[in-house]
């Protein structure tokens, strides 16, 4: 089970310290939420923030693009140090082209789907992605409630993993109990924000507890 701290929830008054602490606490990857205020009604991490995270860890950066026209802006995030780049099919006219361009740039391609986007919207592209991320909250804000109606979609993708080799990631309101339930259903990795990590005391203790209970 992989754990990805959601860096939009970190303390930006001491970002480098936060990254080092999370790295030492056992983070598998650093989830960087990028929002443009248009595709989602919020703005969070920018290129400078991603570069600052990059400079403070050698672990992978998991960059979640919640922006319009991700294909047109891809190079900015490759240069900023992304390892995995997720795009939303809801935000891109040329989804397959963007996924292939991510791989051509040397990064791992991922698809992130909104709560109301069915698996059918991405099934044909599963052969060309390495990651599928299911949004279990409406994208844009931390601290929301888990949307139960996404559970069948998670089960469906866990089944599809048998035929396709992708990592199934859950993003949104991943609390400890929920992580236990979803890892039992076949989810591989979890984005950790305010529901299980930030504001819950010692990072290492929180993450090792999550691993022990899975
Ligand atoms: C939501 C963000 C996530 C996450 C934050 O758009 O992509 O990073 O919700 O974690 P929680 O939901 O636990 O505060
Ligand atoms: Zn995210």
Q: Kindly report the CA angle at 186 between 25 and 159, in degrees rounded to 5?
A: 150
Residue 22 DSSP one-character state: H
CA of 141 to the centre of ligand 1 (A): 6
CA of 32 to the centre of ligand 2 (A): 7
Going edge to edge, which strands form the sheet with 2-5?
Answer: 2-5, 189-192, 167-171, 131-135, 108-113, 84-87, 61-66, 30-35
Which positions are annotated as active-site residues? 33, 171
Q: 193 CB less than 6 Å from ligand 1? A: yes
Residue 146 DSSP one-character state: -
pLDDT of the residue at 214: 83
CA of 107 to the centre of ligand 2 (A): 17
Distance of CA 47 to the CA centre of its chain: 16
Give, for 113, the enclosing helix (H) or strand (E): strand 108-113
Q: 5 CB less than 6 Å from ligand 1? A: no
Residues having C-beta closer than 5 Å to ion ligand 2: 33, 64, 171
Best residue for ligand 1 mutational test, from 4, 114, 193 (most atoms within 8 Å of Cβ): 193
Report the C-alpha gap between 63 and 84 in whole angstroms: 6
Q: Note the maximum CA span of the chain.
A: 44
Single pTM value for the model: 0.97
Q: 206 CB less than 6 Å from ligand 1? A: no
**N residues, the chain:** 214
* DSSP string of 58-71, one letter each residue: SSPEEEEEESS-HH
* pLDDT per residue rounded down to tens, the chain (214 residues): 999 999 999 999 999 999 999 999 999 999 999 999 999 999 999 999 999 999 999 999 999 999 999 999 999 999 999 999 999 999 999 999 999 999 999 999 999 999 999 999 999 999 999 999 999 999 999 999 999 999 999 999 999 999 999 999 999 999 999 999 999 999 999 999 999 999 999 999 999 999 999 8
Closest by Cα among 140, 117, 132 to 33: 140
Long-range pairs, 159-164, Cβ under 8 A, ≥24: 159/186, 160/119, 160/123, 160/126, 161/186, 163/126, 164/126, 164/127
**Proximal ligand: closest to the CA of 147:** 1
Closest by Cα among 97, 99, 20, 35 to 67: 35
The answer to whether 92 and 113 are in contact (CB under 8 A) is: no
Q: Which atom of ligand 1 is nearest to the CA of 35?
A: 6
Report the C-alpha gap between 99 and 86 in whole angstroms: 9
């Amino acid at each position: 089970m992989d754990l990805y701290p959601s860096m939009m929830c970190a303390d930006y008054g001491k970002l480098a310290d936060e990254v080092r602490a999370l790295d030492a606490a056992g983070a598998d990857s650093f989830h960087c939420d990028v929002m443009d205020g248009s595709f989602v009604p919020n703005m969070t991490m920018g290129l400078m923030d991603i570069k600052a995270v990059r400079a403070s860890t050698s672990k992978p950066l998991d960059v979640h693009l919640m922006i319009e026209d991700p294909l047109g802006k891809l190079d900015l995030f490759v240069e900023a140090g992304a390892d995995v780049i997720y795009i939303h099919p809801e935000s891109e006219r040329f989804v397959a082209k963007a996924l292939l361009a991510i791989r051509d740039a040397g990064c791992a391609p991922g698809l992130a789907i909104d709560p109301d986007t069915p698996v059918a919207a991405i099934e044909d592209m599963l052969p060309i992605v390495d990651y599928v991320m299911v949004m279990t909250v409406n994208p844009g804000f931390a601290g929301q409630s888990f949307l139960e109606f996404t559970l069948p979609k998670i089960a469906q993708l866990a089944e599809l993993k048998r035929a396709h080799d992708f990592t199934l990631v859950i993003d949104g309101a991943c609390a400890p109990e929920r992580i236990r339930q979803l890892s039992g259903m076949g989810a591989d990795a979890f984005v950790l924000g305010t529901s299980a990590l930030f504001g819950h005391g010692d990072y290492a203790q929180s993450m090792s507890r999550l691993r022990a209970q899975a």
